[in-house]
Chain A
Amino acid sequence: NAGVTQTPKFQVLKTGQSMTLQCAQDMNHNSMYWYRQDPGMGLRLIYYSASEGTTDKGEVPNGYNVSRLNKREFSLRLESAAPSQTSVYFCASAMVDTQYFGPGTRLTVL
């Protein structure tokens, strides 16, 4: 039982490049979330998915897209990376209340 897994762990991009962050959970949770965490800002919700086939915007969705591929997987895509997207990205899943987080992806955009 791996919980929530994220790939890659680290990534460096140049401005304008694209990439997809992958997230998978094996707890049969309905809801999945993507957050970014910046120093002094706390965790901010980018997008979430209440169930397979649905996605909704969170607090800071601009510059990102998501796909809920199936119940297990929820990916986050940066189409044209910008330096302002340098951050640590966390994926989480939940049945209802409590969220379980992955180990994070540290992304640097040069």
Chain B
Amino acid sequence: SQKIEQNSEALNIQEGKTATLTCNYTNYSPAYLQWYRQDPGRGPVFLLLIRENEKEKRKERLKVTFDTTLKQSLFHITASQPADSATYLCAPTQGSGSARQLTFGSGTQLTVLP
């Protein structure tokens, strides 16, 4: 069956350091992979999408890599700030159909310590 694993439920890092979150998937062949941010008591918010033919994508302090051989995506936040503290969800997405059915990992809770 399809499975998504995100590294450790919780990750604590010091302000200014780079946070690296991992998303591994099995029994999937996603056409692309999305990352979302979720703050307590709120719905997820889209951050980045990376396609299978893209190795890396950047947006401001965020960087995502996608390795279809390893079946893994890495999500980096550089120069982290306390405001980056949130739960981050990955969603490998298979590309068929008019409505994309996303399957989400359970998330990694990131805390950036001042």
Contacts and interface: CB of A to CB of B under 8 A. Distances in A.
A96 B43 CA distance: 19
Contacts of B43: 4, 90, 92, 101-104
Given A99-B46, A100-B46, A50 B99 contact: yes
A43 B104 CA distance: 6
Given A97-B34, A98-B49, A101-B45, A42 B107 contact: yes
Nearest to A4: B43
A40 interface: yes
B98 A31 contact: yes
Interface of A: 4, 30-31, 33, 40-43, 45, 48-51, 56, 58-59, 90, 92, 94, 96-104
10 contacts: A4-B43, A31-B99, A41-B106, A50-B98, A94-B99, A98-B46, A101-B43, A101-B44, A102-B43, A104-B42
The 7 closest A-B pairs by CB, nearest first: A101-B43, A50-B99, A42-B106, A31-B99, A43-B104, A50-B98, A98-B46
Given A42-B89, A51-B99, A58-B101, 8 more contacts: A31-B99, A42-B107, A45-B103, A50-B99, A59-B103, A99-B46, A104-B42, A104-B43
